[in-house]
């Protein structure tokens, strides 16, 4: 039996969605507020960089929110930003 070697002609993004109480050290991380499942699905389809998203909501613990605010680049309000704007904010230039 012959094995096939996969080509590196494509890149796979690694999006991680994290909620309280978890924290992942990552240089490209953002907090999301006012998100929904549809927004998350769209992000999975359009983003190509490795990104950590912290999913923040009213039930999130204040201590956790304070910790992630020190790590994230910005907090994105999904009610105020379109998917394209979120993509532009998150993709490395």
Cis omega (within 30 of 0) for bond into 39: no
pLDDT of residue 25: 87
Prediction pTM value? 0.82
CB 60 within 8 A of CB 22: no
Kindly report which listed range (5-19, 34-48, 72-86) carries the lowest average pLDDT score.
Answer: 5-19
The chain-wide mean pLDDT, for the chain, equals 86
pLDDT of residue 41: 94
What's the rounded mean pLDDT across residues 54-80?
94
pLDDT of residue 12: 60
Which tokens sit at 66? 């304070």
């Amino acid at each position: 039996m012959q094995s096939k070697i996969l080509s590196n002609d494509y890149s796979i993004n690694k999006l991680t969605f994290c909620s309280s109480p978890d924290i992942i050290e990552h240089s490209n991380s953002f907090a999301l507020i006012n998100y929904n499942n549809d927004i998350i699905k769209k992000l999975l389809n359009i983003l190509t960089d490795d990104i950590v998203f912290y999913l923040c909501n009213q039930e999130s613990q204040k201590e956790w929110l304070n910790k992630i605010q020190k790590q994230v680049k910005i907090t994105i309000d999904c009610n105020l930003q379109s998917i394209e704007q979120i993509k532009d904010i998150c993709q490395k230039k």
